[in-house]
């Protein structure tokens, strides 16, 4: 092994080493999904045997003895720094620094398990502080043993790669942002599927299906040429025409005249490497209106799970098992055709019945949950057909709002793609019968998850997120009245789920004023709500009245919390153990009787 490439245990990555993130790189940007995925990968990949796990590459430029400039991998490296800080691993002073970013450096230096609440918010990097709180919250919610996890880091490895000397680093970094350097697993799958097919025409049709379905951030109909769109979709473009029931029926509708045969082998695809998914280098196209819930490789795993009906195991949707899970599909021409047809069929259903994020009009920057189907309309001015997007069950009718909110409840609860089995359930039901009552199907799915969580015998951080999320959905669906007064109206227009993962004690664990509650009262369901990590940080140890008066926007994140606010304002204006106990009984009654 050369000096330019070194395998390093994650436990030692900051030992006697200083890393500098150059100014031309963006600031820390990882959020809950990426941070939790990294922790889950380590937790699930290392067991009590001598098994090791490779986490990825770290590309650096050495500028001095034990000083490395980070060229690629800084998002993962910063997350590992926060993780090891949380685990109280000892490492070099200023082990990680950001060039010319004092807020970031100040936060990295001072962040810890004990003093974050005392730090002055204006002097800190909110992105880094938020990342640390996500780590803290995840360990508490999942009840992960910190010492055991720290030991696992000795079996997790990074490959640190030194770039050649005298290289133009700005140019190199630009290349890393725009072109991947490795063969992606979905490209291997594509090559194997094409190799399994017997004719040039089959391979051309297969390549078209693959290419058009791979762009997940637009409706699949719009990815096809107009002539193909008219051949395989209904008059209004909303569905595949009824006669398309298998791969060969697609082939009969699409002309492949004058199209070159896609015979690329693996090495050809590696050389071109046009489609990449690089977790550290996520870019955003401002012109994109929609953002898919999952990536194309994750969608392929969903289709696989639907076809094989293999049950709800995270391994079925885990991209670490990608090729193994899909290997059946290229074992014969018939299997390859069946899989390719269902990629298209499921993609049409996915776009129509699975929610997206939409970035348009008032929500161009922040996005909002969207459940819409694509339909054709005639632009008389331009004398051409154009797409329009309307509610899947009609423009913002109750059914549309209900399903959109129900799916967003699941989306913010199961954030890792390998846990999104609700999408499999949705696609399976629709594939069997597109008239299926998806709302009932997913409500039953949630109900089972809540019951299986044994929520009635849990307390504090033991409650699973689905209990809070599904309860908020039920309150949204049916509304809520307290002592005859309506507090939450059914289908409240302006409320929607946010990405929440932090269990909040309304009466704080360590109040800045007043008496502390007994642990049993403090940790019962009536005193808890699920909010965002940043909301939890703002609430800190304020008393309930202080939280209500200072941060109404955080209160509004949870419908359960809005009920708690109303109860606090009644009588003496205080949140008491008696009110908490009553609230718990009423919320459990909703989960039991209305769920």
Lowest mean pLDDT among 89-103, 319-333, 341-355: 89-103
Q: Do residues 20 and 68 lie in contact, with contact meaning Cβ atoms separated by under 8 Å?
A: yes
Q: What DSSP designation does 488 have?
A: E
Q: Which long-range contacts (CB under 8 A, 24 or more apart) does 303-308 make?
A: 303/339, 303/342, 303/343, 303/346, 303/427, 304/329, 304/339, 305/421, 305/424, 306/342, 306/346, 306/424, 306/427, 306/428, 306/431, 307/338, 307/339, 307/342
447/379: higher pLDDT: 447
User: How far separated are the first and last CA of the chain, in Å rounded?
Assistant: 59
Q: Tokens 């009110």 — which residue? A: 579
320/522: higher pLDDT: 522
- Given this model, what pLDDT does residue 182 score? 41
586/567 Cα distance (integer angstroms): 12
At 280, the pLDDT band (50, 70, 90 cuts) reads very low
Strand order, beta sheet including 368-370: 290-291, 356-358, 368-370
Q: Facing residues of 290 across strands?
A: 358
The pLDDT of residue 378 is above 50: yes
| pTM, entire model | 0.75
Q: What is the mean pLDDT of residues 239-261?
A: 80
Residue 138: alpha-carbon gap to chain centroid: 15
The pLDDT of residue 93 is above 50: yes
The first and second tokens of residue 155, run together, are 């079996």
- In this structure, the strands spanning 5-9 and 67-72 are unpaired
Burial of 270 (0-12, 13-18, 19+ CB in 10 A): middle
579/483 Cα distance (integer angstroms): 13
The pLDDT of residue 524 is above 90: yes
At 256, the pLDDT band (50, 70, 90 cuts) reads low
3-state secondary structure of 398: helix
- Given this model, what pLDDT does residue 94 score? 86
Lowest mean pLDDT among 219-233, 243-257, 443-457, 472-486: 243-257
Q: What is the mean pLDDT of residues 92-109?
A: 85
The residue length of the chain stands at 595
Lowest mean pLDDT among 147-151, 167-171, 501-505: 167-171
The pLDDT of residue 87 is above 90: yes
At 115, the pLDDT band (50, 70, 90 cuts) reads low
367/428 Cα distance (integer angstroms): 28
Q: Which long-range contacts (CB under 8 A, 24 or more apart) does 220-226 make?
A: 220/344, 220/347, 220/348, 220/351, 221/348, 221/351, 221/374, 221/387, 222/374, 222/387, 226/385
Q: 11: which residues sit within 8 A by CB, 6+ positions away?
A: 84, 89, 150, 153, 154, 156
At 445, the pLDDT band (50, 70, 90 cuts) reads very high
Q: Tokens 């509650």 — which residue? A: 517
Q: 497: which residues sit within 8 A by CB, 6+ positions away?
A: 369, 405, 408, 409, 411, 412, 469, 472
Question: Which helix (DSSP H) or strand (DSSP E) does residue 201 occupy?
Answer: helix 200-214
3-state secondary structure of 278: coil
The pLDDT of residue 276 is above 60: no
Lowest mean pLDDT among 3-12, 295-304, 565-574: 3-12
Tell me the pLDDT tens digit for each residue of 285-332. 334 688 899 989 999 999 999 999 887 887 889 887 888 999 999 999
- Given this model, what pLDDT does residue 402 score? 95
Share of the chain above pLDDT 90, in %: 52
Highest average pLDDT, of 64-68, 204-208, 361-365, comes from 204-208
Tell me the pLDDT tens digit for each residue of 180-194. 334 467 888 998 999
Q: Facing residues of 233 across strands?
A: 240
Q: How many CB atoms lie within 10 A of CB 551?
A: 17
Residue 278: alpha-carbon gap to chain centroid: 15
406/541: higher pLDDT: 406
Q: Facing residues of 480 across strands?
A: 488
Give strand ranges (E) for 11-141.
Answer: 18-21, 53-64, 67-72, 96-98
90/81 Cα distance (integer angstroms): 11
- Given this model, what pLDDT does residue 512 score? 81
Q: 223: which residues sit within 8 A by CB, 6+ positions away?
A: 211, 212, 213, 215
At 267, the pLDDT band (50, 70, 90 cuts) reads very low
Burial of 297 (0-12, 13-18, 19+ CB in 10 A): buried
DSSP per residue, 491-505: T-TT-------EEEE
Q: What DSSP designation does 368 have?
A: E
215/45: higher pLDDT: 215
Question: Which helix (DSSP H) or strand (DSSP E) does residue 551 occupy?
Answer: none
Q: Tokens 């820390």 — which residue? A: 28
Q: Residue 417: what are its φ and ψ, rounded to 5°?
A: -55, -30
Domain positions in the chain: 5-178, 185-391, 453-593
pLDDT mean across residues, the chain = 85
Q: What is the mean pLDDT of residues 199-224?
A: 93
DSSP per residue, 279-313: TT-----TT--EE-SS-HHHHHHHHHHHHHT--S-
- Given this model, what pLDDT does residue 455 score? 96
Nearest C-alpha neighbor of 503 from the set 464, 541, 471, 538: 464
At 163, the pLDDT band (50, 70, 90 cuts) reads confident
Check residue 481 and give left, alpha or beta (phi > 0: left; psi -120 to 50: alpha).
beta
- Given this model, what pLDDT does residue 177 score? 47
Q: What is the mean pLDDT of residues 580-591?
A: 96
The pLDDT of residue 504 is above 60: yes
Q: Residue 463: what are its φ and ψ, rounded to 5°?
A: -65, 135
- In this structure, the strands spanning 384-391 and 480-482 are unpaired
Q: 447: which residues sit within 8 A by CB, 6+ positions away?
A: 470, 595
């Amino acid at each position: 092994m050369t000096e330019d490439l070194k395998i390093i245990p994650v436990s030692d990555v900051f030992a006697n080493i200083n890393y500098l993130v150059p100014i031309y790189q963006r600031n820390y940007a990882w959020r809950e999904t990426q941070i939790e995925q990294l922790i889950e990968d380590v937790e699930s990949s290392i067991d009590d045997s001598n098994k090791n796990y490779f986490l990825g590459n770290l590309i650096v430029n050495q500028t001095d003895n034990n000083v490395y400039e980070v060229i690629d991998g800084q998002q993962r490296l910063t997350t590992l720094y926060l993780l090891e800080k949380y685990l109280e691993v000892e490492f070099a002073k200023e082990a990680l620094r950001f060039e010319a970013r004092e807020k970031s450096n100040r936060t990295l230096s001072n962040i810890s398990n004990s003093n974050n609440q005392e730090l002055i918010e204006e002097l800190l990097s909110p992105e880094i502080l938020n990342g640390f709180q996500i780590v803290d919250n995840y360990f508490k919610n999942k009840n992960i043993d910190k010492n055991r996890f720290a030991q696992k880091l000795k079996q997790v490895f990074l490959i640190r790669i030194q770039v050649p000397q005298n290289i133009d680093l700005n140019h190199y970094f630009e290349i890393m942002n725009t072109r991947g350097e490795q063969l992606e697993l979905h490209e291997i799958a594509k090559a194997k599927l094409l190799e399994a097919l017997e004719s040039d025409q089959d391979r051309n049709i297969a390549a078209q299906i693959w290419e058009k379905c791979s762009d997940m951030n637009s409706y699949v109909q719009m990815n096809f040429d107009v002539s193909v769109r008219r051949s395989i979709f209904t008059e209004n473009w909303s569905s595949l025409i009824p006669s398309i029931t298998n791969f060969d029926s697609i082939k009969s509708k699409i002309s492949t005249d004058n199209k070159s045969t896609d015979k690329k082998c693996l090495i050809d695809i590696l050389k071109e490497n046009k489609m990449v998914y690089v977790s550290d280098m996520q870019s955003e196209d401002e012109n994109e209106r929609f953002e898919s819930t999952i990536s194309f490789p994750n969608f392929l795993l969903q289709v696989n799970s639907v076809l094989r009906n293999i049950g709800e195991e995270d391994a079925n949707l885990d991209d670490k098992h990608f090729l193994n899970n899909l290997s059946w599909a290229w074992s014969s021409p018939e299997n390859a055709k069946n899989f390719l047809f269902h990629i298209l069929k499921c993609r049409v259903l996915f776009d129509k019945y699975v929610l997206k994020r939409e970035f348009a009009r008032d929500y161009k920057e922040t996005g909002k949950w969207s459940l819409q189907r694509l339909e054709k309309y005639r632009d008389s001015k331009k004398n051409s057909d154009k797409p329009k997007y309307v509610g899947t069950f009609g423009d913002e009718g109750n059914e549309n709002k209900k399903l959109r909110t129900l799916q967003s409840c699941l989306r913010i609860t199961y954030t890792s793609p390998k846990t999104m089995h609700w999408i499999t359930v949705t696609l399976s039901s629709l594939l069997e019968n597109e008239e299926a009552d998806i709302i009932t199907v997913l409500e039953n799915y949630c109900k089972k998850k809540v019951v299986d969580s044994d929520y009635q015998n849990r307390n504090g951080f033991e409650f699973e997120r689905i209990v809070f999320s599904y309860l908020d959905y039920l309150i949204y669906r049916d509304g809520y009245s307290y002592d005859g007064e309506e507090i939450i109206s059914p289908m409240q227009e302006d409320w929607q789920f946010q990405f929440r993962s932090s269990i909040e004690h309304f009466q704080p664990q360590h109040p800045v004023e007043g008496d502390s509650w007994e642990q049993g009262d403090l940790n019962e369901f009536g005193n808890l709500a699920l909010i965002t990590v940043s909301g939890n940080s703002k609430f800190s140890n304020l008393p309930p009245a202080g939280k209500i008066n200072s941060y109404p926007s955080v209160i509004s994140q949870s419908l359960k919390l809005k009920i708690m606010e109303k109860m606090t304002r009644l009588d003496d204006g205080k949140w008491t153990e008696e009110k908490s106990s009553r609230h718990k009984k009423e919320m459990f009654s909703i989960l039991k009787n209305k769920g």
